[in-house]
Amino acid sequence: MPTASYAIPEKKGDVKNYITDYAGIQPKVEIWDTDKYMRFMPDALMRIRDRFGPELKILHDVHHRLTPREAAESARAVEPVGLYWLEDPAPADDQQALRMLRHHSTVPVAIGEVFNSIWDCNRLIEEELIDFIRVAVIYAGGITHVRRIVDLAELHHVKTGFHGAPSHSPISMAAHHHLNAWAPNFGVQEYLVLGTPECDALFPSEHRMENGMVHVSDAPGLGIDFDEKEAERYSYQPGSHPVVRLEDGTMWNY
């Protein structure tokens, strides 16, 4: 069984104790400062725009770390950049939160990678408080349920921008490829699943990425397989997302 170990505090009051499992995995701690972030980002994004010109599509992810008022202020500050989208500017589970941002800025908003059903995002879509819906097929009820979300979004000028983190696997991405080929309101697909030789051997498929475009296989089903014999070559390696804290040690949104 996994064992847990505790770091001994270096001095009285030291709260930097970590619980570790398996091979001593310790989550990385990241420090977040909202004021510094809001002062830094407008200029940083504008430098990217100035260097690469107006044709480059710039996407920026805030990771739910701002309050509604802070999100509205930040969106106004980065408006001259001409972002393709501002992602997760406020906590996603508060469907009321984006109204303030919408009243103060025209920056396109993308949100939804933590949503599990149409009921998590129906108000955001119907009131057109977002511009891109970021659900993932493996989290939001599968292909049939995600089609319902996409249909609703299309009625309200909301485009797709499905979540595509590496943890979703090529099987999830294959489902997204088929949905994207069907969706009349397709926007963009996040694609972080690397086509390494190891990955291609585990998940044989004729889906392919060329020059930023996915060519969807017409093979049966999702057009992808999983080689169980190949998978036996690998062992599970535990890992962890970072733990985010404010400078005073308070836990914050990852």
**204-216 pLDDT tens trace:** 999 988 888 999 9
The overall average pLDDT reported for the chain is: 88
The residues near 71 (Cβ < 8 Å, ≥ 6 apart) are 62, 89, 90, 97, 98, 100, 101
Query: Which tokens sit at 171?
Result: 């099987």
> 112 in the Ramachandran plot: left (φ > 0), alpha (ψ -120 to 50) or beta?
left
The residues near 35 (Cβ < 8 Å, ≥ 6 apart) are none
pLDDT in the model for residue 8: 35
> 22 in the Ramachandran plot: left (φ > 0), alpha (ψ -120 to 50) or beta?
left
**Long-range contacts formed by 71-76: CB under 8 A, 24+ apart:** 71/97, 71/98, 71/100, 71/101, 72/100, 72/101, 72/103, 72/104, 72/105, 73/38, 73/104, 74/38, 74/41, 74/42, 75/101, 75/104, 75/105, 75/107, 75/109, 76/104, 76/105, 76/107
pLDDT in the model for residue 92: 85
- pTM for the model: 0.87
Chain CA centroid to CA 216, Å: 22
**107-127 pLDDT tens trace:** 999 999 999 999 999 999 999
Q: What percent of the chain has pLDDT over 90?
A: 74
pLDDT in the model for residue 9: 39
pLDDT in the model for residue 5: 33
Which residues of the chain register pLDDT less than 70?
Answer: 1-24, 193-194
